[in-house]
Structure formats: C-alpha cells, structure tokens
C-alpha cells in the first residue's frame, strides 16, 4: 500500500465568543455573520447559535457593535494579546 496523504487540524483558542443565553440566532438573527468582513462566523448546528468558525479574525468589531443583544464578544487573538 502507498503512503496515505492526510491533514491534521491545529487548535486555536476562539477569540470571538458568544453568550448562548443572549444570542437570538434561533429567531433568525444573522447580523454578526452578515457583517463580518472575514466571513468567519456561522451558526453552530449543535446549539443553533452564532459561533466563531475560523481563526481569521481582524479584531475589527463590527460583529460586536452591530449585535442587537450584546451576545458576542471579541478578544484580541492570543498571539497578539
């Protein structure tokens, strides 16, 4: 058998976190996902709430500023903090 190519995931702390009690994504809100210039937020199928899907955040804050319920928080990514 030939050597099998594979890829491995690298772990990062998610700099963007969501308060599941406050997030109203289940009512159809997608504001943070819409405004994020890097397009790194999505709805978590497990919780039905917004979450940071990719480690590509510019710590620019439109998501946090535009969220109607104050449910999303952006920390400075660990590598720069």
* CB 46, min distance to other proteins, A: 18
- 71 close to 24: Cβ distance less than 8 angstroms: yes
Residues with Cβ within 8 Å of residue 75, at least 6 apart in sequence: 15, 16, 17, 81
Residue 51 contacts ligand SF4 per CB under 6 A: no
- 18 close to 29: Cβ distance less than 8 angstroms: no
Residues 41-70 contacting other proteins, CB under 8 A: 54, 56-62, 65-66
Residue 11 contacts other proteins per CB under 8 A: no
- Residue ranges that bind other proteins, judged by CB under 8 A: 5-7, 34-39, 54, 56-62, 65-66, 74-77, 79-81
């Amino acid at each position: 058998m030939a050597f099998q190519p594979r890829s491995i995931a690298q772990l990062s702390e998610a700099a963007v976190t969501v308060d599941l009690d406050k997030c109203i994504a289940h009512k159809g809100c997608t504001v943070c996902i819409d405004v994020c210039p890097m397009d790194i937020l999505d709805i978590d199928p497990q919780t039905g709430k917004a979450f940071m899907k990719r480690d590509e955040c510019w710590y620019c804050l439109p998501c946090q500023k535009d969220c109607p319920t104050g449910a999303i928080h952006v920390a400075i990514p660990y590598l720069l903090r």
